[in-house]
Structures are given as structure tokens and as C-alpha cells.
Amino acid sequence: MEKFCPRCGKTVEKVHGPKNVCADCYRTTEDFVEIPEEIEFIQCPVCGNYRIENVWKDFEGDQKLVYDVLKQFEKEEVEMAVSFKKRRNKYIVEVMMEVQDAGDTIRQVKNTELVPKEKQCKKCSRYQGGYFEAILQLRGKISEDMFGELMEKAGRMTSKDRSDFVSNVEEIHGGYDVYVSSLKMLRSILEDLNEEFDVDENWSRELVGRKDGEEIYRTVVSARIID
């Protein structure tokens, strides 16, 4: 049965969408997916990680980033594909959309720009702010060379995960005070130490404050190398 489009008056076989219009009118007047012309997202200027709906994601490449940013607009009934180019730190994106309606495939193309807003992620701001969670007080027979080796190993761990790092070292008479960002880092250094020496460890915890109603402790380990 022939129908006609109430919008353009064309005679058509099928009409689409809530307004029962022809495929062309449907494509040009309905947003298959509501995508703003500009989409802002938070990105860390140091490591490139980005935040989508309050979750920080590791930067694994431009394609994954574009996909992640657009994912929040996705609709189940709309098939989406994207192509993009990067202009400085912005992404110029073309979104191809497809819906199945009344046995037809109708396509729509939209352009949008993904614009990063710089904000340092927690890991990076901690890193740069000299954050620490534990102190390792290294005492006893440890030479400068041995200590250097130990710190090198620690550095390799940081390159794997930026949340594990040595934020400060103080050389004091009879040893070193090593400020570390995480208990994981602390344990790893102690493990390296125990592999080579007999170590007398003494663990303690001190209350350093409160945050959001929770008590915050700092771990202090005194590690004495016995000869």
C-alpha cells in the first residue's frame, strides 16, 4: 500500500519513526542518538589517563579513548561506528549510526568534537606531591651501593605502576629513611632486602589523621640489617 510522508509529501512504501515520515525525513529530523556537537572529558595532562562518568581509565590509545567517551551515549537499538582524526589534543569525530526500522536500514552521520579538560589524576598528583603511606627506616650494615641497587629495583616497580613509588629518601646517620607511596612498594623493597640479608623487622602503625570519618594510619617499619 502506498503511503505518503506528512513532512515532505513524497509517496513512499514505508514510513518510519514516531512521526511516521519517509526515510530521508527520518534521517534528517530525528537524532538516532543524542550526541552533542562538543563533548568535554577529563584527562590527566601527565599520564593521559581520562575520566568517564567518574571512573578513571588508563590511556591505551586514541581509538579506545574515543570509543570510551562515546560509549556513554550509546543506545541499544542504534549501531554506531566512528572514525576520527586528532587535531592537537582534540578529537574530530564522525559518528555513523544505523537503525533498523520497518525492515529498512536507515543511516545517519553526525560530527562531534571530543575536548579534553585537563585535571591531574590521583596517581599523578600523589606522585608529584610527594605522597607517602609508609616509612622504611633502614638501619645497620647497608652500603651506598647496596642501597642504590635497592632503589633501582624500586624504580622499575614504579615504571610498572605509577602508584608505587619512593617519594623521598633521607640519609641519616646510620641509615636511610625511605618514604614510600604504598604498602605494596614497602613490601617489595623488604622482600628484596630479605633476599640478600638477615633483616630484623619491626612494624608499627601511627595514626596520622582522619579523612571522611576514617582513621588514617601510616606504617613505619624499622628494618635492621644484621651481619
User: CA 209, 161, 132: angle at the middle one, nearest 5?
Assistant: 20
Distance between the two ends of the chain, CA-based, in angstroms?
97
Cα(187)–Cα(183) distance, rounded to whole angstroms? Answer: 6
Q: Which is nearer to Zn ion, 48 or 140 (CB)?
A: 48
Longest CA span, the chain = 97
> Is residue 15 a contact point for Zn ion (CB under 5 A)?
no
Q: For the CB of residue 95, give the shortest distance to Zn ion in the complex, in Å.
A: 23
Measured from the CB of residue 154, what is the shortest distance to Zn ion in angstroms?
20
Query: Which residue lies nearer to Zn ion by CB, 46 or 157?
Result: 46
Pick the stretch among 19-27, 29-37, 70-78, 192-200 that binds Zn ion (CB under 5 A). 19-27
Spell out a b/e string for 71-107, using b for 16 or more CB atoms within 10 Å of the CB, else e. Answer: eeeeeeebebebebeeeeeebebebebebeeeeeebe
Q: Does 46 bind Zn ion (CB under 5 A)?
A: yes
**How many Cα atoms occupy the beta-carbon half-sphere of 25 within 13 Å?**
18
121: contact with Zn ion by CB under 5 A: yes
22 lines the binding site for Zn ion (CB under 5 A): yes
Neighbours of 213 (CB within 10 A): 5
Contact pattern for Zn ion over residues 124 through 163, marking x by CB under 5 A: x---------------------------------------
Out of 25, 97, 106, 150, the residue judged to bind Zn ion by CB under 5 A: 25
Site residues (vs Zn ion, CB under 5 A)? 5, 7-8, 21-22, 25, 44, 46-47, 121, 124
